């Protein structure tokens, strides 16, 4: 279950942010898919958590958007994490038209539980 935080500059149009909210769950799921957590294309509540945050007056960022993804560490996921994030970056660029953005993929050792 990836947690995704999207930090954005207030200059980014709301239409772009709304489009990101539509495409990110699928694109991130594809990017972090692995044998231990396969993705069947049928996202359920809790499968991907998106959190949008506008840059504050004291924040410092050189990019319009930064997408931070945290997903549980698995060796199969970690061995090609740079390739995964590069492909995801290209997919987001094609889907939304963003150009000035970055993606940070973190794979912590973690556990997850949620209500049914």
What domains can you pick out in the chain, each with its CATH number? 3-106 (3.30.429.10)
Asked if residue 32 lies in contact with residue 77, where contact means CB atoms within 8 angstroms, the answer is: yes
pLDDT value of residue 45: 87
pLDDT value of residue 23: 97
pLDDT value of residue 6: 98
Entry pTM: 0.92
pLDDT value of residue 108: 86
Question: Is residue 21 helix, strand or coil?
Answer: helix
Angle at 106 between CA 116 and CA 47, to 5 degrees: 20
pLDDT value of residue 106: 95
pLDDT value of residue 100: 95
Q: Report residue 88: phi and psi, to 5°.
A: -65, -45
CA distance 88 to 90: 5
pLDDT value of residue 112: 74
Hey, what are 41's tokens?
């294309």
Name 60's Cβ contacts closer than 8 Å, sequence gap at least 6: none
Tens of pLDDT, residue by residue over 52-70, are 999 999 999 999 999 999 9
CA distances (Å), origin 97, targets 15, 22, 23, 82, 101: 11, 14, 12, 21, 10
Q: Name the stretches of the chain with pLDDT < 70.
A: none
């Amino acid at each position: 279950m990836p947690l995704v935080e999207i930090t954005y500059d207030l200059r980014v149009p709301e239409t772009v942010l709304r489009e990101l909210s539509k495409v990110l769950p699928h694109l991130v799921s594809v990017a972090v898919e692995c044998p231990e957590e396969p993705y069947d294309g049928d996202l359920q509540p809790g499968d991907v958590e998106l959190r949008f945050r506008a840059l504050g007056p004291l924040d410092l960022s050189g990019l319009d958007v930064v997408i931070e993804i945290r997903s549980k560490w698995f060796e199969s996921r970690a061995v090609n994490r740079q390739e995964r994030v590069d492909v995801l970056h290209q997919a987001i660029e094609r889907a939304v038209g963003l150009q000035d953005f970055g993606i940070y993929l973190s794979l912590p050792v973690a556990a997850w539980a949620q209500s049914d």
